[in-house]
Structure 1
Amino acid sequence: MRKTLVLFAAAGLLTSLAACGHNTEQRAATGAVAGAVVAGPVGAAVGGATGAAVSAATDGR
C-alpha cells in the first residue's frame, strides 16, 4: 500500500514538473529529468513523453 501511494505521489510530481518550460523541448527535458530521478531510465522515457504531451495540450489551447 505504501509503495502505491509513493508511486501516485511521484506520478503527480512528474505531471506537474512536465509543464515547466516555454516550449516542447524544455517541457520534455524537465519531465525526463524528473522521471529519471524518480524511476530511472524508464521514468525518464515516461517523463519525456509526458512533457511532450503536456506541451502539445497547452499549445493547442
Structure 2
Amino acid sequence: MNHVFRASVALAALAVLTACGNTDLERAGTGALGGAVVGTAVNEPVAGAAIGAVGGALIDDF
C-alpha cells in the first residue's frame, strides 16, 4: 500500500476512536492511543499520540 492511502485510513480510524469516551480525559486517552498507532505507521508515534490526545480532548467542542 502506498503511504498516502495508509495515512488516510489511519486518520479515519483515529477520528472514530477519538469519539470514544464520555469525558475529555477519556477521549484524550483514546485519541493518544490511536494517534500513537497512526504515528507508528509514519514513523512518528510521539507526534501522533500528541495530535490524537488533543483531537480527542477537543472533539466534542466542534
TM class, shorter-chain normalised?
Answer: 0.7 to 0.9
The number of aligned residues is 57
Partner Cα distance (2:8, 2:2) in 1: 10
Whose helix fraction is larger, Structure 1's or Structure 2's? Answer: 1
- Name the % identity: 39
Uncovered stretches (5+) of structure 2, i.e. residues with no partner: 40-44
Task: Give runs of ≥4 in structure 1 deviating > 3 Å.
Answer: none
Say if 1:34 and 1:44, in contact at 8 Å, map to a contact too: yes
Say if 1:24 and 1:56, in contact at 8 Å, map to a contact too: no
Partner Cα distance (1:55, 1:23) in 2: 9
Check if 1:10 corresponds to 2:15: no
| TM-align CA RMSD | 1.3
